Structure 1
Amino acid sequence: MKGIQLREFKPTFFFLTKFVGIYLVLNLLYGFYITAYYPKPDPVTHIVSENSAALLRFIGLDVVTSDHPTRPTTALVYDGKSPVTVYEGCNGINVMIVFLAFTVAFGPIGKKMLYFLLLGFACIYLINLIRIILLFWVSRDLPHYMYFTHKYFFTAIIYVMVLILWIGWVRLSLSLNSKR
């Protein structure tokens, strides 16, 4: 068997280069965005917290939000306590960056991609709100499960959903390419 031809892996290297490049640039920009608001929470974290509190109020809980004055967090306050504090890492933006980097790196770029990205962002945002609401409940009623559910269970659920979206994008992209 002769040596592996590098040409065989050119599409893979190109995909990985685009993915890593897009991911690094967007994370760098996101880091600048977060830093601009430090030590207070950024607007996206605040909005995600407000939306989570609004959904909790919708189901009958008297929940309000409170931005911490010297930390980049927003607390969900219920009955004088804050069972959950939302940090910038909990607002879903990093997951959206990973989702966007993969989708754009895989291509093809066009109107269908834009629609798919918007659908994916909406799904990620919604699942993240549900995650925060369920973490609120776990923290309030089952605090001994909080570490596991926050660190592993809900993280896995979000990334499985992103994986399902990616599979959908790959299938859609391949079908678009085969029609050309």
Structure 2
Amino acid sequence: MKNLFNKYKTVVQFVALFLGTYLVLGILYSIYLKTSEAGAYFPDFITNLVAEQSSAVLAGFGYNSTLSPGQIDNAMLLTINNEYSVSIVEGCNSISVLILFVAFIIAFSEKFKKTFLFIFSGIVLIYIVNILRIAFLVVALHKFPEHENLLHSVVFPGVIYGIVFILWMVWVRMLSQVSKK
């Protein structure tokens, strides 16, 4: 058994770091969501901020956008041109995707400074892409409502997960180049 463990030590270490980081960050995020239920921001600060920033991007593209709290679910309703609304819910704020990204990078961690800078840069990039993704999704749904399922369930999730995958590959490639030297 010891030989088997030694043989797959790096795999076991990766899985342990990945799952441990994912679990800890997931629990912290759950605590954040629970404590923000009675907070000043609806539905929570981060989701509210994402909705506000997505609305600002739409305004920057010349769309008249308004935000209001959702009456049925814990969501911000984003309306453009007074005729089409979407619900921005907690799942739209990209935190779950960021947790997945961070867990992978930590599982393949390098020196602290390099890892920290890559995580920070990746979080900023993913967050910005998510804001733009929501704004483009709202416009696409406004113009092509008949393709809602394809746009919301396939194309735009593919964008955010595609960015995460590309960042993972960049990180692994950076590590493999260091190990070659």
Query: 1:161/1:69 Cα in 2 relative to 1: closer, same or farther (>3 Å)?
Result: same
Corresponding residue for residue 89 of structure 2: 87
Q: Using the alignment, how far apart are the partners of 1:111 and 1:69 within structure 2?
A: 45
Find the partner of 1:102 among 101, 104, 109.
104
Give the counterpart letter for 2:95 in structure 1: I
Q: Using the alignment, how far apart are the partners of 1:53 and 1:83 within structure 2?
A: 11
Q: Using the alignment, how far apart are the partners of 2:158 and 2:5 within structure 1?
A: 35
Find the partner of 1:143 among 142, 145, 148.
145
Give the counterpart letter for 2:124 in structure 1: A
Query: 1:24/1:82 Cα in 2 relative to 1: closer, same or farther (>3 Å)?
Result: farther
Corresponding residue for residue 44 of structure 1: 46
TM-score (norm: length of structure 1): 0.89
Corresponding residue for residue 7 of structure 2: 8
Give the counterpart letter for 1:67 in structure 2: P
Contact 2:65–2:82, Cα closer than 8 Å, also in 1: no
Corresponding residue for residue 131 of structure 2: 129
- 1:164, distance to aligned residue in structure 2 (A): 1.0
- 1:67, distance to aligned residue in structure 2 (A): 2.3
Deviates more, 1:35-44 or 1:160-169: 35-44
Give the counterpart letter for 1:58 in structure 2: G
Give the counterpart letter for 1:68 in structure 2: G
Across the aligned residues of Structure 1 and Structure 2, the Cα RMSD in angstroms comes to: 1.9
- 1:85, distance to aligned residue in structure 2 (A): 1.1
SS in 1 for 2:8: helix
**How many residues are treated as equivalent by the alignment?**
176
Q: Using the alignment, how far apart are the partners of 1:176 and 1:99 within structure 2?
A: 21
Q: Using the alignment, how far apart are the partners of 1:90 and 1:23 within structure 2?
A: 19
Q: Using the alignment, how far apart are the partners of 1:68 and 1:123 within structure 2?
A: 28
Contact 1:41–1:68, Cα closer than 8 Å, also in 2: no
Contact 2:70–2:77, Cα closer than 8 Å, also in 1: yes
Corresponding residue for residue 164 of structure 2: 162
Contact 1:50–1:65, Cα closer than 8 Å, also in 2: yes
Give the counterpart letter for 2:35 in structure 1: A
- 1:5, distance to aligned residue in structure 2 (A): 3.4
TM-score (norm: length of structure 2): 0.88
Q: Using the alignment, how far apart are the partners of 1:72 and 1:33 within structure 2?
A: 15
Q: Using the alignment, how far apart are the partners of 1:79 and 1:61 within structure 2?
A: 6
- Which aligned segments of 4 or more residues in structure 1 are displaced greater than 6 angstroms? none
Unaligned runs of 5+ in 2: none
SS in 1 for 2:110: coil
Find the partner of 1:174 among 163, 168, 176.
176
Unaligned runs of 5+ in 1: none
Identity %: 33
Q: Using the alignment, how far apart are the partners of 1:82 and 1:49 within structure 2?
A: 15
Give the counterpart letter for 2:20 in structure 1: G
